[in-house]
Structure 1
C-alpha cells in the first residue's frame, strides 16, 4: 500500500496567495487518483478572497481536509497534539509542512507520537527574514534539524536561509520550485470578456495582479502611466487584487491625473485569472525590497503564470523575482523604485508588437521546460521516499 502523507499548513485555499497555490497543487498530486494518499491539516476560520467558504471548498476536494478552528495555525502544544494524533489515526508516515516556519517546530512531536518517518518542510520567502533575527534564526535552525529536507524555491531564498541552518541541515536543502498549470494558463484566450467588462477599449493594457501592499510596486506603475499615456493615449492599467494599500493607490491615481486610466478590478479567484491575462498586452509587478531587506519578494508565481499565458513580463528587482524572467528575452527586470524606468520598459514592449510576441512565446517555452507542477510533485515525492 502506498504511504500516506499528512500536509500541515496554515496557507491553503480557499484563501488566495502563492503559498496557498503551492500547497494545494502539491496536495492534490500527492493524493493520488483515489484521493487517499494525503490528509491536509489547516486553519479553518478564514475563507478566500473570492468568497467561497472553507466548508464548500473542502467538499469539492477528492482528498481529506481537516480544519482547526483558528484563523492561524501555529505550533502550539494543542495543535502539535492534534497533528500527531491525526498522523497516527490516518497512518501517515510522511509529513509535509506547507511552510516550514514556524510549523516545522512540531517535527519532534510528530515523529515521537505520530509514527512519522519522513518530514519535508517547504520554504517560500518569509523564512529569509527569519534567518536575520536572533530569535527566529534559532527557531529556523531547530526547524532545519528536525526535517529530513528543507526546500528552497530559488537562489535568493537558498542564500538567505542557508546561513541560519546547521551544516548538516544545510547539506539537506533541496530546490523545489513552484510550477504553473500550463493547461489553465495558456495563450489564445478571448480578450473581449475582460476588456468589455471594464471598458478597457482597444488600447494597450498593462496588467498587475497582487496583494495591494507597498512592496508590490503598484504605485510605481501608476506613476509611470503619464509617460505611457503620452506615447499611447489609450493605454490602461488593470490592477487585480486587494489589500491595505488600495485606497492610497486610488488617491495616487487621481492625484497623478490618470484616474480614468487605472482600473481596480478587486480580488479575483486564482482559477478565474486566465481571461485577465488574455486581455493584457504585458504583465508588470515592479516589486521592491523594503524595510532594510526584511520585506522582499520570495519568487512570484504570478510572473510565471503570466509568462505561461504568453505575456512579456516586467518584474521588480526584489529578492527572487528576477529568477522568473530571462531579462531581454522573456521580459525585463526593473527597479521598482524608478517609475520612469518602469514607464520606459512598458513603452518599449508595447511599442514593438512583433518583439513582444516573441518574448511571450519564449516565456511560455521557459515555463513549460522548467516550471511545472508535475516536475515539482515528482521532486517532492522523491524527497519523501528517500
Structure 2
C-alpha cells in the first residue's frame, strides 16, 4: 500500500467502537507506512503514554474535536507532505472527508473514507445529505459496514460514488474471543456457576435494548427460575435500568458489572449461555445500530445470539444459523427465543459452532485489513 495518513477524530485512548475499529486496522498495516493525525483527549499524560506505545507516529491536534476547518485542513496537508504520504484514510468519512479535495491538491493520490452508523443519519437530512454527497465526490472510495448502511448512504451519493463503495466492517480477533476465554471464572466470581445465564455486553443506552431484556425476565424466570441476566458495561442509562429491574421485580436475577476492562470482555462473553442485545431504532430512524460487532464477538466465543432488528444489526447474524433476529423493543419475542435456546443445549452448541466458523471465514481482522490495504 502507499504511505498513508490516517485522519481521524476517533482514536484511543478515547473509548468507543469507531476508535477501536480505526486503531485495530492501523495496527495491522505496515507501521512504516502509517502516520496518524488525530484529536487529543482529556488527559494529556494518558494520551502521550498511549501514543509512545504505538508502532507508528501519532500527531495530535490541540483540539478535542477534529473538524474539517481551514486550520485543520492545512495541518493535514502539511503532514501529508512532511511524511511523504500519498494516500489518506479518513477514520470517519463524515465530516472529515470534506477535506478530500484539499488533500488531493496537496499530493494525495488515493483517498478512502470509512462510513459507520452516523452517516446513515446524515443521509436522511437535506443539509447533511448534501455534505455527504460532496464527501462521496471528493474521495475515491467510501466504505460501508453492511447492507443496511450501504442502502441508506448510497442514495445520497452520485451514481458514480455509490458504485465505488466497498464493504469494510470492523473485524473480530478470533484468537482473543474464543470458546475457552475464561467464562467459567467470571461465572464463579459472580456466583452464577450453576445458573442459566443470558449475557449482554454493551454500553448502557436506550437503543441497545437492555430494558427489553429486563422486561423479558419474568417470562424467562417462569420456566427457568434460577436464570440470571448479566449486563456488562456502563453508561448513562444504568440508573433507569436498575429502577426498571426493581419495579419489574427481577433485581435479584440481574447482575450489573459496570465498566469492564477490554482484556476481560472475552471472558464476560463466555460467562453466558446465550448472548442477547435486542437493539431498537429510535428518534425517527436517526438513532440506529450501525452493525453490532458484539454479536460477532459472542459468535467467536461460541455463543448463540439474539439480536434486535435495528439498522445493520441483522448483518451480524445469520438468522436461524448463528442465532435469531427479533423485533427491537419486544420483550415477548426476546423471551421466546431465549427460552428456546436455554432449554436446548444441542441447539446452543450448534449455533455457537456455526457462528465461530462464520467469524473465522469472513470477519477476521487480517482479512479485512488486507481489503483496506488494497483500497490504499
When normalised by structure 2's length, the TM-score is 0.96
* Cα drift, residue 331 of structure 1: 0.5
* Cα drift, residue 272 of structure 1: 2.5
Q: Which residue of 2 aligns with 1:92?
A: 85
Q: Which residue of 2 aligns with 1:9?
A: 8
Q: Which residue of 2 aligns with 1:134?
A: 126
Q: 1:232 aligns with which of 206, 224, 232?
A: 224
* Cα drift, residue 89 of structure 1: 0.9
Q: 2:140 aligns with which of 148, 167, 182?
A: 148
Please say if 1:59 is aligned against 2:55: no
Listed one character per residue, the Cα deviations across residues 22-49 of structure 1 (whole Å, up to 9, x for unaligned) are 111211112x2xx2111111121146xx
Listed one character per residue, the Cα deviations across residues 127-166 of structure 1 (whole Å, up to 9, x for unaligned) are 0010010110000001000100001111111110011101
Task: For residue 379 of structure 1, give the secondary structure of its aligned residue in structure 2.
Answer: helix
Please say if 1:274 is aligned against 2:266: yes
Q: Distance in 1 between matches of 2:68 and 2:339?
A: 48
Q: How many aligned positions are there?
A: 376
Q: Which residue of 1 aligns with 2:205?
A: 213
Please say if 1:39 is aligned against 2:35: yes
Unaligned runs of 5+ in 2: none
Q: Distance in 1 between matches of 2:221 and 2:360?
A: 34
* Cα drift, residue 318 of structure 1: 0.8
Q: Distance in 2 between matches of 1:236 and 1:55?
A: 41
Q: Is the 8 A contact 1:44 1:70 kept in 2?
A: yes
Q: Distance in 2 between matches of 1:14 and 1:282?
A: 30
Q: Which residue of 1 aligns with 2:75?
A: 82
Q: 1:157 aligns with which of 149, 156, 159?
A: 149
RMSD (Å), alpha carbons:
1.6
Q: Is the 8 A contact 2:4 2:33 kept in 1?
A: yes
Q: Is the 8 A contact 2:201 2:269 kept in 1?
A: no
Alpha-carbon distance change, 271 to 91 in structure 1, aligned in 2, over 3 angstroms: farther
When normalised by structure 1's length, the TM-score is 0.94
Please say if 1:199 is aligned against 2:195: no
Please say if 1:22 is aligned against 2:21: yes
Task: For residue 208 of structure 1, give the secondary structure of its aligned residue in structure 2.
Answer: strand
Q: Distance in 1 between matches of 2:269 and 2:59?
A: 34
Q: Distance in 1 between matches of 2:64 and 2:338?
A: 40
Deviates more, 1:256-265 or 1:141-150: 256-265
Task: For residue 26 of structure 2, give the secondary structure of its aligned residue in structure 1.
Answer: helix
* Cα drift, residue 194 of structure 1: 1.3
Q: Distance in 1 between matches of 2:373 and 2:39?
A: 24
Aligned pairs for 1:338-357 (under 5 A) are 338-357=330-349
Q: Distance in 1 between matches of 2:267 and 2:23?
A: 22
Q: Distance in 1 between matches of 2:260 and 2:61?
A: 26
Task: For residue 325 of structure 2, give the secondary structure of its aligned residue in structure 1.
Answer: strand
Listed one character per residue, the Cα deviations across residues 157-197 of structure 1 (whole Å, up to 9, x for unaligned) are 11100111012211211112221111111112332321233
Q: Which aligned segments of 4 or more residues in structure 1 are displaced greater than 3 angstroms?
A: none
Listed one character per residue, the Cα deviations across residues 324-356 of structure 1 (whole Å, up to 9, x for unaligned) are 111111111011211011111111111101110
Q: Distance in 1 between matches of 2:354 and 2:258?
A: 30
Q: Is the 8 A contact 2:116 2:145 kept in 1?
A: yes
Q: Distance in 2 between matches of 1:241 and 1:190?
A: 18
Aligned pairs for 1:66-77 (under 5 A) are 66-77=59-70
